[in-house]
Structure formats: structure tokens, C-alpha cells
């Protein structure tokens, strides 16, 4: 089954850190560029970060640059997002999304809540 499963979300205090994971299955993960996209409560969709197939090209939204780090492990079919210096504005559901030859359904997302 083609699937993306996010994990690692939770409640964290402002200034804290979290590491999100996304495990892929059912498709050739190493041939797909990967993205993190988030959705704040009651808001629209916001792109966060992208990584190319072999990690050569990495991009970040200005809102997270310098605080978030995207990475991937093709041997483990996994995508990661290390989030540091979290602020309340980072509260959102985080989705991973694959981009390649065949459309891949998004995962269910993982909720990150930043609150004191």
C-alpha cells in the first residue's frame, strides 16, 4: 500500500525542539522529492521545506529558515524535520508530501502544539 505516515508531534514549550519523522512505503521513495507542509488551526496550507532525491537541494520557507532542518534517509525510506527554537506560530499539523512521477497521497499529519 502506498503510504506516508508522520510521527513525532506533541506539546512543547516555546523555545523547545521536536523532531518529526515521515515513513514512506509502497513507492520508490528515493526517486521522489519530499516536502513538509503545515496547517495552523483553522488556517490554510503552508509549505515549510523541500529536499531533493539525494539531499543535494534543500529549501526552506523564510518563516522557518535557520530554525528547521530537513533531512532524509533513503535506506530507511524516511524523511525528517528537526525543529528548534519553536514558537507559538509553529503550532500546526505537519504533513509530509512526495513529489515525483506518480501522485502519492498525503499522510494524516502530526500535530505540533507550542504552548507554555
Is 67 a binding residue for another protein by CB under 8 A? The answer is no
Residues linked to residue 3 through DSSP beta bridges, in sequence order: 25
Q: Which of 9, 27, 32, 50 binds another protein (CB under 8 A)?
A: 50
Residue 72 and residue 30: Cα distance in Å, rounded? Answer: 9
Looking at the Cβ atoms of 19 and 59, the one nearer to another protein is 59
Q: Is 44 a binder of another protein (CB under 8 A)?
A: yes
Rounded to whole angstroms, the Cα distance separating 34 from 107 reads 12
Nearer to another protein, 2 or 15 (CB): 2
- Per DSSP (E only), the strands in 41-83 are 45-51, 58-60, 68-73, 78-83
Binding region for another protein (CB under 8 A): 35, 37, 44-47, 50, 59, 61, 93, 95, 99, 103, 105-109
Amino acid at each position: 500500500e502506498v503510504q506516508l505516515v508522520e510521527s513525532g508531534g506533541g506539546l512543547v514549550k516555546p523555545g523547545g525542539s521536536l523532531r518529526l519523522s515521515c515513513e514512506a512505503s509502497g513507492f520508490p521513495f528515493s526517486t521522489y522529492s519530499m516536502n513538509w507542509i503545515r496547517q495552523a488551526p483553522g488556517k490554510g496550507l503552508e509549505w515549510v521545506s523541500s529536499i531533493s532525491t539525494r539531499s543535494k537541494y534543500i529549501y526552506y520557507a523564510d518563516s522557518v529558515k535557520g530554525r528547521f532542518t530537513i533531512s532524509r534517509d533513503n535506506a530507511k525510506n524516511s524523511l525528517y524535520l528537526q525543529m528548534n527554537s519553536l514558537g507559538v506560530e509553529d503550532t500546526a499539523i505537519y504533513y509530509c508530501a512526495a513529489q515525483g512521477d506518480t501522485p502519492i497521497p498525503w499522510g494524516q499529519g502530526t500535530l505540533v502544539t507550542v504552548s507554555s
